[in-house]
Amino acid sequence: INEQSFMQARNLITLFQNGEHQKLEYWREWHDLVLTLSQRAIQEHPKDVHYHFLLARFADAAMSAVPEDGKIAEDAFHSAIALSEKRQQLYYSYARFLLVQNRSDDAVEVLKKVISFDEEIGEGHWFLGLHLFLDRGETDEGAKMIQRAFNVKTPYKLVQPQEGLVAARVLDQLGSA
Q: How far apart are CA 84 and CA 82, in angstroms?
A: 6
Residue-wise pLDDT for 13-28, tens only, equals 999 998 999 999 999 9
pLDDT in tens, 111-160: 999 999 999 999 999 999 999 999 999 999 999 999 999 999 999 999 99
**pLDDT band at 6, cuts 50/70/90?**
confident
Question: Which residues are 121's β-sheet partners?
Answer: 154
The helix/strand/coil state of 121 is strand
Residue 132 carries which DSSP code?
A: I
Element spanning 143, H or E: helix 139-150
Q: 1 pLDDT exceeds 60?
A: no
Instruction: Please check whether residue 91 is in contact with residue 81, taking contact to mean a CB–CB distance below 8 angstroms.
Output: yes
| pLDDT tens per residue across span 27-70 | 999 999 999 999 999 999 999 999 999 999 999 999 999 999 99
Q: Which of 154-170 are b and which e, b meaning 16 or more Cβ less than 10 Å from the residue's Cβ?
A: ebbeeeeeeeeebbebb
- Predicted confidence (pLDDT) per residue in 63-115, tens digit: 999 999 999 999 999 999 999 999 999 999 999 999 999 999 999 999 999 99
> DSSP letters of 57-94?
HHHHHHTTTSTTHHHHHHHHHHHHHHHSTT-HHHHHHH
- Under the banding of pLDDT at 50, 70 and 90, the label for residue 4 is confident
CA–CA distances in Å: residue 105 to residues 61, 67, 98, 133, 172: 21, 21, 9, 14, 27
